[in-house]
Chain A
């Protein structure tokens, strides 16, 4: 098991850093180019949520990134220090009345592009998101 932990600032540069790191680690899983791009986007979307919606760009708050890679899968955990939210309260971005909203599609894309997604958040505490992508063909 290969493990990486980084504590990142609440800045857009951290989004790029996390995506790049996750993609580097995912290279050995035999994913094709489209799958790699999609996995990188999933990480990116969750990092954006942590930086923008969770920590609200606060310099006093960090984003904690953990990447665990085994021969069969890669798991990325992203935790912010924000105020949390109720995941069930998010509007459905595919509902006709929400189609033209400017935001709210990040988790939809993430869920589509990974094999497992868990979101642990409660109002008043931070949010932790865990993404898992399996080796190609697994």
Chain B
């Protein structure tokens, strides 16, 4: 199963609900397009909800980093919520836990945007 991405708005925060596998190929490229689309619409506050993501490989991690850079370069913020233990482990191994702001609770994450 490849990644399924849907977007919704919570106040002024654009939430991307990701599900499935974010891996090299369709999953990673659709992720990139979704982020670009959100940024092009002028959204500055982006929350990536990974609650239903079963698997991310290094290409998927690369897309998350790229998305973070895209949003940051547009003057916005990208934060993460709902990471499984496996995804948290990947961020620890790659030291990206120091880069991404990570939340367990969506409401708390939404409130954290300035």
Q: Which residues of A contact B (CB under 8 A)?
A: 12, 15, 34, 37, 41, 44-45, 48, 52, 93-94, 99-103, 105-106, 108-109, 112
Within the complex, which residue of A41, A93, A99, A108 is in contact with B57, where a contact is CB–CB below 8 Å?
A41
Dominant secondary structure of chain B at its interface with chain A: helix
In the complex, B74 has a CB within 8 A of chain A: no
**15 sample A-B contacts, Cβ–Cβ < 8 Å, listed by A number:** A34-B85, A34-B86, A41-B55, A44-B23, A45-B58, A93-B94, A99-B96, A100-B99, A101-B65, A102-B62, A102-B65, A103-B59, A105-B61, A105-B94, A109-B90
Dominant secondary structure of chain A at its interface with chain B: helix
Contact yes or no, B93 A48, CB < 8 A = no
Q: Which residues of B contact A (CB under 8 A)?
A: 23-25, 55, 57-59, 61-63, 65-66, 68-69, 85-86, 90, 93-96, 98-99
